Chains A and B, each alone.
Chain A
Amino acid sequence: MASSAAVLERPAGAASGRAGGALAKGVATGYLTLVVLLPLAALVWSSRADGAQAFWHQATRPEAISALKLSLGVAAVCALINAVAGTAIAWVLVRDRFPGKAAVDAVIDLPFALPTIVAGLTLLALYGPGGPFGVDVAFTRAGLLLALLFVTLPFVVRAVQPVLLELDTEMEEAAASLGAGSLAIFRRIVFPNLLPAILSGVALAFARAVGEFGAVVLISGNIPFRTEVSSVYIFGQLQSGNEGGAAAVSVVLLAISLGVLLLIGAFRRWRTRHDV
């Protein structure tokens, strides 16, 4: 993307840049600094205010480690389920035909639009104590997973859908005429084309799941060493006045988020390389 875009953009940058461009750059970086960078810098600064040893001590407390492991583990399971379910849903939305498909397509965005605390409350009402199905996952890791699956549902679907839409069916038809079964066609032709999109969707879902707070705070019960995830741990530490402990774990989460974003950038470059 970067290399082909550079060729297209250079003349424009030279022609229309100057005053307007410089102003846009200045305003843009100023806004970004004030809203995003300054708070994050303050966070990193505070986390190491008491020295590296204090930071290490706070970040490796047993409760903190346990919460972080749980966050990463549940997020990984959630991401895996999304990889399969999200791809299947995208396939059904693009290739299948049935009445009401447009409505189903619209519903996919609901988790993006619904406040996370409402998502948590609804799941607790249905799959919690006294729910109509007799299923009770409240205060369990299964409940945690359910909440994360709810809020991350759109990521893989919305990443895969446009790629699948543009994918030419000619190759698949050719393979079918040569006697390939539908599974072989998917594995050999469709899947390799979708893989970069699936991976970026999965990575975003993973990042979202690691840090999720609103959807899990009611359903997880927040039991230390059992169902307490990192975001809830940070909130708890702050409430009990341990700002250093909250900041240390936050910096770890910040590093994970940045790592995932870099990975997504790499997938994106991979995808565009395949396009050309």
Chain B
Amino acid sequence: MSRYVLRFGALGYLTLLLLVPVGFVFYRAFEHGIGPAWDAVSSQQAVHALELTLLMAAIAVPANTVFGVILALALVRSRFPGRGLVNAIVDLPLALSPVVVGLALFLLYGRGGWLGGLADHGIKILFAVPGMVLATMFVSLPFVVREVVPVLREIGTEQEQAAETLGASPFQTFWKITLPAIRWAVAYGVVLTTARAIGEFGAVSVVSGKIQGRTETLPLYVQAQFEQFDIQGAYAASVVLALIAIATVVALRVFHPREETS
């Protein structure tokens, strides 16, 4: 009896909180047929926003993947003073408000900021793509590190040591031994990083200046259309983002690190 109460309670909660709202956006977007929805997402402004969003991900995801693996290796394989602090800093983007992240970048690269002088040399960071990329990199930094660290810890170093004894260079050891062992964790982390990079709103919103057709990503476009009473456009762009999210969820299932042990 209590089993059924729990089951239907849990499923009911998920349905009302998650499934119905997400389903309803699809309904509202296609309420008047495919035509208007397609027109809304194929407008020049929407296409540009989508391209810019993908550009953010195309820069931030590889950077956070490469440096994420290096960070994980440094955290697990070596001991140095301040390692605990580095550990906490890696987690910080998960716990910090995105608006605070945006403001921090704004104050660093803005007028009077430590690196505000870059703008005078023609290097525009704020209200331009570089600032938005930095914001995206900040918020999506922890995912690869957090997925790779436990796997590195679990596989230990025996095989790496064996490879080294047999004369492998550190690079060969990494490429032939370490990387194959962590590849599913990396893939899982990459999917999470990509999802966060594509969906980031608060941090990018602060540093982008929201210049239409120039620094507007797809999530910013959703808000702009909503505030300009183009509800249809907001729903249509939301559907594009929701489809990416659903693809992410499917990919997470495919790359789940649990498979590695089986």
Contacts and interface: CB of A to CB of B under 8 A. Distances in A.
A binds B: yes
B137 A125 contact: no
B3 A96 contact: yes
Contacts of B93: 36
A104 B100 contact: no
A35 B93 CA distance: 11
A137 interface: no
Contacts of A89: 10, 13-14
A106 B161 contact: no
Interface in B47-78: 67, 70-71, 73-78
Interface stretch (B18-26, B37-45, B179-187): B18-26
B20 to A, nearest CB: 6
Given A28-B74, A39-B105, A118 B25 contact: yes
A112 B202 contact: no
A121 B78 contact: no
Given A28-B74, A218-B223, A88 B97 contact: no
A32 to B, nearest CB: 6
Interface in A80-110: 85, 88-89, 91-93, 96, 98, 102, 104, 106-110
Nearest to A27: B70
Interface string B210-243: 0000000011101100100000001100100110
Interface stretch (A8-16, A54-62, A172-180): A8-16
A96 B7 CA distance: 7
A13 B96 contact: no
Contacts of A88: 6, 9-10, 13
Dominant SS at the B interface?
helix
A197 B169 CA distance: 40
Interface string B138-162: 1001000000000001001100110
Contacts of B223: 117, 217-218
B236 to A, nearest CB: 11
Given A9-B76, A114-B242, A106 B99 contact: no
Nearest to A233: B99
B195 A113 contact: yes
Contacts of B103: 43, 234, 238, 246-247, 250
B8 to A, nearest CB: 9
A45 to B, nearest CB: 8
Interface in A179-229: 182, 204, 207-208, 210-214, 217-218
Contact of A15 (B10, B164, B249): B164
Nearest to A132: B24
Q: Which of A109, A149, A208, A230 lies at the interface centre, i.e. has the most chain B CB atoms within 10 A of its CB?
A: A109
Contacts of A262: 88
Which range contains the number of A residues in contact with the other chain? 35 or more
Contacts of A85: 10, 13
Contacts of A5: 153
A12 B161 contact: yes
Contacts, number: 294
B96 A257 contact: yes
Contacts of A32: 71, 86, 89-90
A153 interface: yes
B201 interface: yes
A25 B219 contact: no
Nearest to B91: A261
A107 B108 CA distance: 39
Contacts of B189: none
Q: Which of B21, B75, B173 lies at the interface centre, i.e. has the most chain A CB atoms within 10 A of its CB?
A: B21
A207 B94 CA distance: 8
Contacts of B2: 182
Given A40-B104, A111-B18, A238-B206, A213 B138 contact: no
Contact of A122 (B22, B67, B91, B218): B22
A52 interface: no
A231 B70 contact: no
Given A89-B14, A117-B222, A110 B22 contact: yes
A73 interface: no
B70 A258 contact: no
Given A108-B14, A115-B245, A214-B205, 11 more contacts: A28-B71, A36-B89, A39-B107, A43-B100, A88-B9, A121-B238, A210-B97, A214-B98, A231-B99, A238-B206, A250-B103
30 contacts: A12-B161, A16-B170, A16-B173, A17-B78, A25-B80, A27-B67, A32-B71, A39-B107, A39-B108, A39-B134, A40-B92, A43-B107, A89-B10, A104-B11, A106-B252, A107-B19, A107-B249, A109-B252, A110-B245, A112-B196, A117-B220, A121-B235, A153-B17, A204-B95, A213-B97, A231-B98, A234-B99, A238-B206, A253-B96, A261-B92
Nearest 4 interchain pairs by C-beta:
A211-B97, A115-B199, A12-B157, A214-B201
